[in-house]
């Protein structure tokens, strides 16, 4: 009779598993039971099968040491395919079916989300297909070598996989080893890194253009005003221009029966609008709707209506952009900023960053203070968030909608957010929303603000450095208003 085995039941996801240690190795078996009572009853038959399997061990003498050799252990006949083999070799075939990577392996075990499990399975299937095609002799985990891993990573890279995908793929393979208590064959594996790229700082002209295009009406009004200025027509009449009135090759526009020449910059703005509104009958459709709705007859009335649009429809977006420019906060921190984080009396914004969990305290720029006061008046001092509409969209897990809106604002402002980078198949983001954070740091540095204060403001410090700079100098707080101009 074999050695007495006492296993322990534990739960993975919705299924109870049995584990025990034998000969210094950990073995696991699935009971295929979601109910603990049924799992306890099945545990008895599984342990009996395991004890019988360990009894079928024949000792052999090799170089003065006793080793054991399994003789057809019958453990597989006592259970289904969800079994960790009691042998030294672990076959790659059906590895996912027997013991999938569907739970966290760090700290407390918890079930992974379905999309993560599908992603892991996809990477494992692709790895198996590569091994079967290029290394048919490799059939077990132990036979896989670092060269096989390197070859597979190179193969994926040739097919367009980025650094993040390659790292996740290798982590999936390593997890499959860890689930079977097999030593990882590539302990010196170094993570892939993206080709270095740096986001550039935005110019003040670009920031001003972005702020002027936070709503479609503002963007269309800006272009119509430029056309009116160069042609002598009224902005109201220019709002009725249709695409067929534009001659892009000659750079002219027809208003009424008169053809006027436009400068290159204005013509580029008009061309961008035409490309974006391909098929539209009216070039400035949203501005035309505003004119008809408000019964606007002249440019003065249109100017007053646009002031109302700026103060209502585009207020939150302008505040979001200025908040990032004057504080350097990341996108998530700007969207979820609460009034309790803002002390307008002391002139300080103090918030715990979502990415690092560090608490940063920043002086409030005079331009931002005015925006905070206007926002407070607009809400009557009620509400939890500084940007209630944006915060609601962000917390509803619809961040993509916010990112798309920001991309449209940048596009209307004529700011190119992406550029080609050598070695990448996709475009790299260099001037998106996060570029406002780089602009904040760059302007502060150019303005003579100490490096320690800047690092503390953006949260790029250790706890020790935070204690040193937790009370930033008054000259640094005053310097921020001089370093970043009012926009």
Within-domain flag for 465? yes
Residues 227 and 140 in one domain: no
Question: Contact, 400 vs 297, CB < 8 A?
Answer: no
Do the Cβ atoms of 324 and 331 come closer than 8 Å? yes
Q: Tally DSSP H helices, then E strands, for the chain.
A: 20, 13
Would you say residue 204 lies in a domain? no
The reported pLDDT for the residue numbered 83 is 39
In a domain, 225, yes or no: yes
Q: Are residues 67 and 145 in the same domain?
A: no
Q: Do residue 145 and residue 274 come from a single domain?
A: no
Residues 281 and 352 in one domain: no
User: How many C-beta atoms lie closer than 10 Å to residue 270's C-beta?
Assistant: 23
Are 325 and 466 part of one and the same domain? yes
> Would 209 be classed as within a structural domain?
no
Q: Which of 263, 293, 312 is the last residue of a domain?
A: 312
CATH of the domain at 187: 1.10.150
Does any domain span residue 478?
yes
Integer Cα distance of 175 and 370 in angstroms: 53
- Same domain for 337 and 461, yes or no, is yes
Residues 108 and 240 in one domain: no
Per-residue confidence (pLDDT) for residue 238, from 0 to 100: 85
Domain match, 221 and 290 both: yes
- Domain boundary residue among 281, 312, 343? 312
User: What 3-state class would DSSP assign to 415?
Assistant: coil
- Total structural domains in the chain? 4
In the 8-state DSSP scheme, what is residue 74?
G
Encode pLDDT of 414-459 as tens digits.
Answer: 888 887 766 566 677 788 898 898 898 888 888 888 887 888 788 7
Question: Do the domain assignments include residue 67?
Answer: yes
Q: State if pTM tops 0.95.
A: no
Residue-wise pLDDT for 130-179, tens only, equals 999 999 999 889 889 888 998 998 888 888 787 788 888 899 998 888 88
Tell me: do 370 and 403 sit in the same domain.
Answer: yes
User: Taking Cα atoms as reference points, which of 428, 429, 453 lies closest to residue 441?
Assistant: 453
CATH code for the domain of 422: 1.10.443
In a domain, 177, yes or no: yes
CA neighbor of 302 nearest in space, from 291, 292, 293: 291
Which residue range(s) make up the domain with 270?
A: 215-312
Q: Is residue 456 in some structural domain? A: yes
At 284-311, the pLDDT tens digits run 888 888 888 888 888 888 888 887 777 6
Residues 73 and 116 in one domain: no
Instruction: State the Cα–Cα distance between residues 181 and 117, nearest whole angstrom.
Output: 20
- Is the same domain home to 118 and 234? no
- Residues 115, 179 within the same domain: yes
């Amino acid at each position: 009779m074999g050695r007495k085995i006492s296993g322990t039941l534990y739960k993975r996801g919705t299924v109870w598993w049995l584990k025990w240690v034998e000969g210094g190795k950990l073995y696991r078996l699935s009971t295929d039971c979601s109910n603990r009572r049924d799992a306890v009853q099945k545990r008895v038959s599984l342990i009996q099968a395991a004890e019988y399997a360990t009894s079928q061990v024949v000792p052999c003498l090799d170089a003065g040491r006793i080793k054991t050799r399994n003789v057809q252990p019958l453990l597989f006949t006592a259970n289904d395919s969800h079994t960790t083999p009691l042998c030294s070799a672990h076959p790659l075939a059906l590895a996912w079916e027997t013991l999938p990577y569907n739970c966290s392996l760090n700290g407390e075990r918890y079930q992974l989300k379905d999309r993560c499990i599908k992603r892991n399975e996809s990477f494992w299937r692709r790895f198996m297909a590569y091994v079967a095609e290029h290394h048919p002799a490799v059939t077990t985990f132990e036979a896989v070598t670092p060269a096989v891993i390197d070859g597979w990573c190179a193969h994926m890279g040739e097919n367009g996989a980025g650094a993040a995908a390659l790292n996740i793929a290798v982590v999936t393979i390593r997890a499959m080893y860890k689930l079977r208590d097999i030593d990882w064959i590539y302990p010196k594996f170094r993570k892939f890194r993206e080709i270095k790229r740096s986001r550039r700082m935005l110019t003040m002209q670009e920031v001003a253009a972005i702020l002027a295009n936070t709503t479609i009406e503002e963007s269309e009004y800006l272009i119509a005003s430029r056309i009116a200025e160069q042609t002598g027509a009224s902005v109201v009449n220019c709002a009725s221009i249709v695409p067929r009135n534009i001659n892009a090759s000659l750079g002219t526009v027809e208003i009424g029966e008169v053809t006027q020449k436009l400068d290159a910059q204005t013509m580029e703005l008009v061309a961008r609008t035409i490309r974006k509104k391909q098929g539209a009958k009216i070039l400035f459709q949203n501005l035309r709707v505003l004119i008809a709705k408000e019964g606007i007859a002249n440019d003065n009335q249109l100017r007053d209506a646009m002031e109302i649009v700026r103060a209502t429809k585009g207020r939150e977006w302008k505040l979001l952009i200025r908040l990032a420019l004057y504080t350097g906060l990341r996108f998530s921190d700007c969207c979820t900023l609460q009034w309790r984080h803002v002390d307008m009396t002391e002139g300080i914004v103090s918030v715990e960053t979502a990415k690092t969990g560090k608490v940063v305290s920043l002086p409030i720029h005079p331009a931002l203070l005015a925006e905070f006061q206007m926002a407070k008046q607009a809400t009557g001092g009620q509400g939890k968030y500084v940007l209630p509409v944006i915060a609601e969209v962000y917390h509803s897990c619809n961040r993509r909608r916010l990112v798309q809106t920001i991309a449209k604002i940048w596009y209307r402002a004529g700011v190119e957010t992406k550029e080609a980078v050598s070695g990448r198949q996709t475009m790299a983001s260099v001037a998106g929303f996060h570029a406002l954070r780089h602009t904040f740091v760059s302007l502060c540095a150019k303005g003579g603000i100490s490096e320690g204060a800047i690092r503390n403001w953006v949260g790029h410090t250790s706890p020790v450095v935070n204690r040193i700079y937790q009370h930033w100098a008054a000259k640094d707080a005053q310097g921020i208003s001089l370093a970043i101009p009012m926009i």
